[in-house]
């Protein structure tokens, strides 16, 4: 951990080291002011400054090296300046490890009311109280800087799929112009990085133009946006296969808002380093558990008398020390502990999957491990 009063020269520079590859799968380390991130990495989402239902130390104990914060939500509540006044997001939420924040544009388009996109940025009404706000590439980075996040994202425009080519091209070209403004506005304190976001929908030529444009501007890392937005999984995989090789091998690649364990396994196989998704946390609050043998819906009556834990071999206490019968009871009665335990199970499962993939790439056994994981999922939970 870098002491808050560390002289600038003491904070480590932002960086990425590639340690091993196995086919197109990569094993690396991202270095930030608040510590290192082992990749492939899954980043739990902490939208409002909390990974819902878990203490930060529980999240850390599952193996998470980095959390996500959400610019859109935090700018509305409690406000970026207020978080800065409290010492920044790391101090505010007591998470002294790396944090990545999104730029907010995606959430504006999916949550806010009366949204208007112009060359300058996006104006919108808060979904909370109807107050009016503006996000520009510059203001988004000012907010992310006030939050103190270690990895900051450019403001971009994501189109839902399917979309016509003109629409995908317009949004991709706007995002590229915003990328240039973001790079110009980014005051990267030592150990803090700025990522560009590749857009272009499911059109490989647009994706190639977006990637080339971002590489020319030059970023600390590159995200693939605009995926897992309604397209079939094979379309997402085709776009990743077309885009990843166009990105520098010595920079991290982040697939935004993805995904299911199956999406992640396929993304790692195709050269993606970082993932995030609300699925493990959201599913946990709805009684759904992710295990080595697939998903288990604890609402289902078949669990009412099952004394077995979810996974006796797990190193996560929530998966090992309580029965399915008890978890079923908690879920059916809506007890808070049900959401807490299943969120813990799910975040721990995602981290154990990433740990298994990191070792598989280090030891040159990725294809074999991938096949075994897929066989376990196919076996299902019995």
Ligand X SMILES: NCc1cc(CSc2ccccc2)c2nc(N)[nH]c(=O)c2c1
Question: How far apart are CB 254 and ligand X at their closest, in Å?
Answer: 9
Distance of CA 258 to the CA centre of its chain: 7
Query: Using CB under 6 A, which of 161, 258, 310, 341 touches ligand X?
Result: 258
Site for ligand X contains 257 (CB under 6 A): yes
Q: Tell me whether residue 95 or residue 366 sits nearer to ligand X (CB atom).
A: 95
How many chain residues are in contact with ligand X, going by CB under 6 A? Answer: 20
Query: Are 255 and 273 within 8 A, CB to CB?
Result: no
Contact map string, positions 92 to 131, toward ligand X, x by CB under 6 A: ----------xx-xx-------------------------
Q: Choosing from 102, 150, 263, 273, which is the catalytic residue?
A: 102
Q: Tell me whether residue 153 or residue 319 sits nearer to ligand X (CB atom).
A: 153
User: Is-catalytic flag, 276?
Assistant: yes
Query: Using CB under 6 A, which of 64, 99, 146, 256 touches ligand X?
Result: 256
CA dist., res. 373 & res. 167, Å (int): 38
Question: How far apart are CB 197 and ligand X at their closest, in Å?
Answer: 5
Question: How far apart are CB 260 and ligand X at their closest, in Å?
Answer: 12
Contact map string, positions 66 to 95, toward ligand X, x by CB under 6 A: --x-x-------------------------
Query: Using CB under 6 A, which of 202, 231, 263, 276 touches ligand X?
Result: 276
CA dist., res. 355 & res. 64, Å (int): 10
Residue 52 CB partners (closer than 8 Å, separation 6+): 281, 285, 339, 343
- Edge to edge, the sheet with strand 35-39 lists 15-22, 25-32, 35-39
Question: How far apart are CB 191 and ligand X at their closest, in Å?
Answer: 19
DSSP 8-state class, residue 51: -
CA dist., res. 303 & res. 364, Å (int): 39
CA dist., res. 329 & res. 334, Å (int): 8
Question: How far apart are CB 47 and ligand X at their closest, in Å?
Answer: 6
User: Where are the strands (E) in 243-300, listed by range?
Assistant: 253-255, 274-277, 288-291, 294-297
User: Is-catalytic flag, 250?
Assistant: no
CA dist., res. 224 & res. 242, Å (int): 11
Binding site for ligand X (CB under 6 A): 45, 68, 70, 102-103, 105-106, 153, 156, 158, 197, 225-229, 256-258, 276
């Amino acid at each position: 951990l870098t002491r808050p009063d560390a002289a600038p020269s003491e904070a480590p520079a932002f960086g990425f080291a590639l340690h091993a590859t196995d086919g197109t799968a990569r094993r690396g380390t991202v270095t930030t002011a608040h510590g290192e991130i082992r990749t492939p990495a899954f980043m739990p989402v902490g939208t409002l400054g909390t990974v819902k239902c878990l203490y930060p130390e529980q999240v850390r104990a599952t193996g998470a090296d980095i959390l996500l914060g959400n610019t859109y939500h935090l700018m509305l509540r409690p406000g970026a300046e207020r978080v800065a006044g409290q010492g920044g997001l790391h101090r505010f939420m007591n998470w002294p490890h790396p944090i990545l924040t999104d730029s907010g544009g995606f959430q504006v388009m999916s949550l806010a009311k009366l949204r208007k996109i112009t060359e300058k940025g996006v104006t919108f009404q808060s979904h909370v109280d109807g107050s009016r706000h503006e996000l520009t590439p510059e203001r988004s980075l000012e907010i992310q800087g006030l939050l103190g996040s270690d990895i900051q994202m450019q403001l971009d425009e994501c189109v839902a799929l399917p979309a016509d080519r003109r629409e995908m091209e317009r949004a991709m070209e706007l995002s590229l112009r915003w990328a240039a403004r973001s790079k110009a506005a980014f005051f990267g304190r030592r150990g803090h990085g700025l990522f560009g976001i590749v857009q272009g929908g499911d059109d490989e030529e647009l994706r190639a133009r977006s990637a080339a444009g971002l590489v020319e501007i030059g970023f600390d890392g590159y995200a693939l946006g605009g995926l897992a937005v309604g397209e079939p999984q094979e379309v997402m995989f085709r776009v990743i296969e077309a885009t990843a090789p166009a990105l520098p091998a010595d920079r991290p690649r982040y697939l935004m808002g993805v995904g299911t364990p199956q999406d992640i396994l396929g993304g790692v196989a195709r050269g993606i380093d970082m993932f995030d998704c609300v699925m493990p946390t959201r599913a946990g609050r709805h009684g759904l558990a992710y295990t080595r043998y697939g998903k288990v819906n604890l609402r289902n009556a078949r669990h009412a008398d099952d004394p077995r834990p979810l996974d006796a071999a797990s190193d996560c206490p929530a998966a090992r020390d309580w029965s399915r019968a008890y978890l079923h009871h908690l879920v059916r009665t809506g007890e808070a502990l049900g959401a807490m335990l299943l969120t813990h199970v799910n975040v721990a499962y995602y981290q154990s999957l990433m740990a298994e993939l990191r070792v598989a790439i280090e030891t040159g056994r990725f294809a074999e491990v991938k096949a075994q994981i897929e066989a376990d999922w196919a076996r299902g939970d019995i």
